[in-house]
Chain A
Amino acid sequence: MLLMCRSLGKIYRTRNGVTTALKDVSLSVGEQEFVCIVGPSGCGKTTLLKLIAGLLEPTSGRIIFGAGEKNGRLRSAMVFQEHGLFPWMTVLGNVAFGLEMQGISQHECRDRAHDFIEKVGLGFFTHSYPHELSVGMCQRVGIARAFVADSQILLMDEPVGSLDTQTRLVLQEELLRIWVEHRKSIIYVTHDIEEAIWLGDQVLVMTGRPGQIREEIQIPLRRPRNPLNSNRQEISEIKWHIWKILEEEVRKSLCIPT
């Protein structure tokens, strides 16, 4: 076991009183496991990732790390939905950033970053700035930066959420390809049910605010997965099941009676 969350809660204090973003969330992530989290918008998915990343402190509960922890903290690398890249650094500078912060020599940083930039197919753009790239390319840079930093766990906050459907499909495949090569634990937040099933070993379905884990679903599909020759019947059953839960949650959050 790499990471365990025990009844995490997070309460935000705002001018209009308190908002409970997360309530009693427990989950566990194994070594090399791909965990997807789906939930209605505003259910605290991003908050959960930020808690695990150490960017926020939980109001209650705790996060327990298994082997490989460092100073009671897991080395994590987060991929943001957008604005994650530093606009003032080139692709190379951005990808090397995580390594640079670990105090690795500049020469080695460059070499390792170069390798990964080639791996995501952006070799031609090594010295370009983010504003010269498309959104899809930027997300690939963000993914390369997370993988190259050699963290124990990657935290992805809807990394392909802002892309068009075709680009998204291709990027998902790319992500799986890199993940198969460099097995890491991944927590992947999305609102797309199909994406969650197709990527994850395990799908956690969250409720609306306050966010809670409603159900844990194991995805029995074998890898390598292919959306064309996998068992459609099985997938559509899981999809229907998750949708029924989410529909109820979304209706609740919109105050629409079922």
Chain B
Amino acid sequence: MAYLEDTRRGSTKEPLHTDLKERLLLGWWLPTMTVVVILIVWEWLVRSGELSALFFPAPSMIVQAFVRLLTSGKLITEVRITLMRALLGLVLGGISGMVLGLLMGWSQKLRILVDPFIAAAHPIPKIAILPLILIIFGIGETSKVIVIAVAAFFPMLINTMAGVRNIHPIHFDVAKNYGASLRKTFSRVIVPGSLPLVLTGLRLAFNAVLLLTIAVELVVAQKGLGRMIWFAWETMRTEELYVGLIVTAALGIGFNFVLHSIAKRLIPWRRTQIE
């Protein structure tokens, strides 16, 4: 009865007021203040010489490096290249993982047939297959995207399959009882029923993709954020290294934020599914 509870809470103003105040304090002011205090202490420690600027450059130096990289256009180029690789891999691996996951969740025969291969291939750290892919496809964009796609494939496949298998058997009975065709069962039961876990799979796939993209770039790329981080190490420009890490983190957070709002729209019947 969430509906009635909502209206009840709206009618009593006093608790809502204090509730809001408390939420603002805990959810916004307190975390912000913590970060600000830590940054100030950090800055002060570096300036007073307590902390080595080589290992922990002051926040102000990192900001300067960030502005320099941004205005020169270098940062945007690197981010664009990294994002292109990541998203291309996510789309290719994600879609194939989702399709196979839906089919394997649906058909027990296919599941029994394919499962051993999945079980064998899934535990391999995906970066370890990079040399093999390089031998087959050469050192080019294709190899990089393939490895990234493989990383996206497994979380998507496994979560989608679990999503289909988690659908309550009664829902299939209802569909059959009302004479739903295979196509209708697929579009009206299997797809929406597995959607919450598909979105969880997408989120995990992106995390894997980001990891793999940076890893691949560290090893073989000429451009991209991973390369930028590596180059910063080689030239001992620690503040640029920090810029690379922060931007990578921002990409991850940004994608999760986008996914969260997509999930809210796509699965209004389960608001709490994706946190």
Physical interaction between A and B: yes
Interface residue ranges, A against B (CB under 8 Å): 50, 53-55, 75-78, 80, 83-84, 86-89, 97-98, 100-102, 125, 128-134, 149
In the assembled complex, the Cα of A125 lies from the Cα of B3 at a distance in Å of: 10
- Given A88-B192, A88-B195: A83 and B168 interface contact (C-beta under 8 Å): yes
Give the shortest distance, in Å, between B25 (CB) and chain A (any CB): 30
A-B contact pairs, 27 of them (CB 8 A): A54-B176, A76-B177, A77-B177, A77-B178, A78-B173, A80-B170, A84-B174, A86-B174, A86-B189, A86-B192, A86-B193, A87-B270, A88-B192, A88-B267, A89-B192, A97-B174, A97-B178, A97-B188, A98-B178, A100-B184, A101-B179, A101-B181, A102-B179, A128-B3, A131-B269, A131-B270, A132-B3
Which positions 85-133 of chain B face chain A at CB distance < 8 Å?
none
Interfacial chain B residues near A80, Cβ < 8 Å: 170, 173-174
B38 CB-CB contact with A under 8 Å: no
B contact residues around A76 at 8 Å (CB): 177
Judged by a CB distance under 8 angstroms, whether B171 is at the interface is yes
Range class of the B interface residue count: 20 to 34
Q: Which residues from chain A contact B180 at a C-beta distance below 8 Å?
A: 101
Chain B 242-275: CB-based contact to A (< 8 A → 1; otherwise 0): 0000000000000000000000000111100000
For residue A132, which residues in chain B have a CB less than 8 angstroms away from its CB? Answer: 1-3
Chain B residues, CB < 8 A from A149: 178
Q: Which residues 140-179 of B sit at the A interface, judged by CB distance below 8 A? A: 168, 170-171, 173-179
Asked whether, in the complex, the Cβ of B269 is within 8 Å of the Cβ of A130, the reply is yes
A62 to B188, CA, bound (A): 32
A88-B195, A130-B269 given as contacts; is B2 within 8 A of A78 (CB)?
Answer: no
Report the bound CA distance from A223 to B211 in whole Å.
Answer: 71
Residue of A with least CB distance to B168: A83
A78 touching B192 in the complex, CB below 8 Å, given contacts A83-B170, A128-B3: no
Q: Are A84 and B178 in contact (CB under 8 A)?
A: no
Give the nearest-CB partner of A125 in chain B: B3
Residues of B within 8 Å of A75, CB to CB, are: 179
Residues in chain A near residue B195, CB distance under 8 A: 88
